[in-house]
Amino acid sequence: MINRTALPYPLSSVHLFQSLRHLKLPALLHSGLAGDKKTSRFDIVVADPSKLIRYQHGILKIESEGNSGESIEEIKTVEPILALAEHFPWQNNNVDARDDIPFCGGLLGYFSYEALHDLHKVSKKHNEGPGLPSILAGIYDWAIIVDHHKQSCTLAAQTDCKREKLEKIKHLLSNRTNLQGESFKITSAFNSNVSNQEYTQAFKKVMQYIQAGDCYQVNMSQCFQATCEGDSLQAFIKLQQQANAPFAAYIEDQNQAVLSFSPERFLQVKNKVAITQPIKGTRARHYDKAKDEKALNDLINSKKDKAENLMIVDLVRNDFGKVCRTGSVRVDALYEPQSFANVHHLVSSVSGELAQSKDVFNLLNACFPGGSITGAPKLRAMEIIAEVETAPRSVYCGSIAWINTNGDMDSNIAIRTLVRDHDQIYCWGGGGIVADSDAQLEYQESLDKISMFMDALS
CA distances from 147 to 8, 16, 42, 213 (A): 11, 13, 5, 49
3-class DSSP state for residue 70? strand
Rounded Cα distance, 113 and 385, in Å: 11
Contacts of 353 (CB under 8 A, 6+ apart): 272, 273, 274, 324, 325, 328
Amino acid at 96: D
CA-angle at 311, arms to 323 and 346, nearest 5°? 105
Residues designated as active site: 264, 280
DSSP secondary structure of 355-417: PTT--HHHHHHHHPSPGGGTEESHHHHHHHHHHH--S--TTTTSEEEEEETTS-EEEEE--SE
Among left, alpha and beta (phi > 0; psi -120 to 50; other), residue 95 is alpha
Rounded Cα distance, 265 and 28, in Å: 16
CA-angle at 72, arms to 66 and 77, nearest 5°? 135
CA distances from 116 to 178, 212, 287, 295, 370 (A): 38, 27, 41, 37, 12
Q: Kindly state the DSSP code that residue 101 receives in the 8-state scheme.
A: B
3-class DSSP state for residue 243? helix
Q: Which of 428, 448, 422 is nearest to 130 (CA)?
A: 422
